[in-house]
Amino acid sequence: MRQEKGIDWPSSIVVCEVGPRDGLQNEKKLFSVEQKVELIERSVHAGAKIIEIGSFVHPKAVPQMADTDEVAKRIKRVEGVEYRALVMNMKGLERALAAGIRKTKLTVSASRSHCLANMNRTPEEVVAGFGEFAEFTAKHGIELSGGIATSFGCPFEGRVPLEQLVSVISGFKKIGVKEVSISDTTGMANPRQVYEYGVHVRKLFPDMKWILHFHDTRGMGLANVVAGMLAGIDRFDSCFAGLGGCPFAPGATGNIATEDLVHMCHEMGISTGMDLDEVISLARSVKEIIGHDTSGFILRAGKCSDIVAPPKKDGKEAS
């Protein structure tokens, strides 16, 4: 961290590319195995050190992820890059193991109402049931991480209390999880809330690794990233071209775009280890494939460094 007038800015952050999973799972167009492999490998070439390649879920539930097994087997693994995948049950975990995935993520909703409506169990009961997953991953040398959906806001109950988020994190800690992704699934978080929650959980769980996951549903995604940085968190999920959303959270479309996140950080003098031009090129390719506009800003406006002075008229600069 470097201090500037009392503000501790990080010198660098880690960008976690979730496009192959959270981006593509909400698209009507089904990408081929070859296309997915290319997107993953181009993301790594652009500098991504953590990439979520897909999810091992039932193909009828999320048909966009039906071929994750084949994708995982075909990608060229690069040393130093973390390839992670989402799992929902033991069968999915077994599939991940067979496909050579060494990092898996389990997700639960922080909202009691949302969890009870979808799983008929409280968040604490769901996490307690993850104990068998922890035993399986420990036995087979797989790292297990936790994801907490609706961490800040829920369509049923509004703002999710900090105490409820802490309760779910405690459950993950009990089963040995050492990394938690705090997700704004519904796009309801605001910067002040993100800062307060971030500072609090870092103080309560000093040994836990944190990732923040924001959707830009209401235009606060990058502001929330800045708030997270100021709270001392330096890992952030993002998606190429700003695709995404969640098929189980209506209206929560649009993850923060990777190219927007990288551009903002580089303008702030914060290193990401990523090649911005390569990231933008990848986002453009994705947009061409899906054939519709996306929520990213840089694809529309370009980089700040691309802006040139307007042509002069009659010896004066045009206004």
Q: Please list the active-site residues.
A: 246
Q: Which of 301, 309, 287, 228 is CA-nearest to residue 39?
A: 287
CA distances to 226, 252, 263 from 260, rounded to whole Å, are 13, 18, 5
- Both tokens of residue 69? 């097994």
Backbone angles phi, psi at 180, to 5 degrees: -130, 135
d(CA 145, CA 83): 12
The count of other CB atoms within 10 Å of the CB of residue 225 is 24
Q: What is the DSSP string of 127-170?
A: HHTTHHHHHHHHHHT-EEEEEEETSSEETTTEEPPHHHHHHHHH
Tokens of 156: 């049923």
The answer to whether the CB of 133 falls within 8 A of the CB of 106 is yes
For residues 285 and 45, the answer to whether their CB atoms sit within 8 Å is no
- Tell me the three state secondary structure of residue 294: coil
Contact 148, 165 (CB under 8 A): yes
Residues 283 and 298: their CA atoms lie apart, in Å, by 10
